[in-house]
Amino acid sequence: MHRPLRLSIDRAAIQANWRWLADRAGVAAGAAVKADGYGLGARETTEALIEAGCSDFFVSTWAEAEALGNLPQSVSLVVLHGFGADDTDAATRLPARPCLNSVKQVARWKQLGPGRACDVMIDTGMNRLGLRPTDINALDGLNIDTLHSHLACADEDDPLNEMQLERFRAVASAVPAKRYSLANSAGIGLGRDYSFDLVRPGISIYGGIQRPEFEGNIRQVARVEAQVVQRRIIPDGESCGYGATFVAREDTEAAILNIGYADGYLRGFSSHGSAFAGGYALPVLGRVSMDLIAVGVGAAPGLKEGDWVEIDYDLPWASKQSGLSQYELLTTLGSRFERRWI
């Protein structure tokens, strides 16, 4: 079935981004493939990164772990949300280990029997998931593969970064584990003091640029294209779209494209986004609706029904255009796209 939306995913760019992040960190680099590989495809991303040399992967839930299917025995898979009361079947059946996040999860894991490998998250200031440093006595007797913490403000030069680093160092000196891990994508940009034994990049594998150090080194991964449904003229003085937020100041050539907020092209792009055709920039006119947008095409006289237009989806720039985070831009891309790995 023909689809009027295409999402092209650059496999080589994913691999190159991961290699650059690993090289900058100077230690082993894993990969977050949660949220279906940030919306691009967890299985395909995992296969590409295994080929590149990655052997540590992270998902959010046991359902995501199961959806990945069979992985090589040399690959490590961690469920970041831990071990809940309803997860016993999955945890004993699937080749993944939990990252324990609370004293209650630790106790529950110990009940499954001694010696089972796990990871542990320590809360050093994020106040989201993780045991507090004062709770580390509860970890006695655990077989901890990797002890983690997570940075809250690594995309900025914030005093909390160094505070979390010192707190994690203190806990790491007191809790035995095979490995220690603190840095996410942005944390890699803070320098090798934050690397420890393993880094856990996510968004920057997929083209996200979280810090100035990444500019010119991280490649765009996802390209979004939509077909033209119709070309039309918006007469001088008339409006286009819901709310009549765009009013033509002259007869305006417009193309109506097969994309909208149901596809993840959200309303933050209304009158702010843009597209490209034949090297010409095409501004979004008025509001994004559920299935359609209008773009000005006066600069592209040959554009017609059925032609393809590339949406400006370079993550840093699209984020500035829309006010959306780079994470939202990827993870909201919908199921109506034909996803093509190139």
Return the active site residues: 34, 242
- Please state, in angstroms and as integers, the Cα–Cα distance from residue 82 to each residue in 6, 86, 97, 118, following that order: 35, 11, 8, 9
Q: CA 151 to CA 128: how far, in whole Å?
A: 11
As a whole number of Å, the end-to-end CA separation of the chain is 20
Q: CA 76 to CA 82: how far, in whole Å?
A: 15
Task: State both tokens at 94.
Answer: 């699937």
3-class DSSP state of 313: coil
DSSP 62: H
DSSP 219: P
Output the CA angle 165-102-130, nearest 5 degrees: 25
Task: Give the closest residue to 49 by CA, choosing from 64, 35, 30.
Answer: 30
Beta-carbon contacts of 192 under 8 Å, excluding residues fewer than 6 positions away, are: 25, 26, 27
How would you classify the pairing of strands 5-9 and 338-341?
A: parallel
**DSSP codes joined into one string, 222-267:** EEEEEEEEEEEEE-TT-EESGGG-EE-SS-EEEEEES--GGGT--G
3-class DSSP state of 151: coil
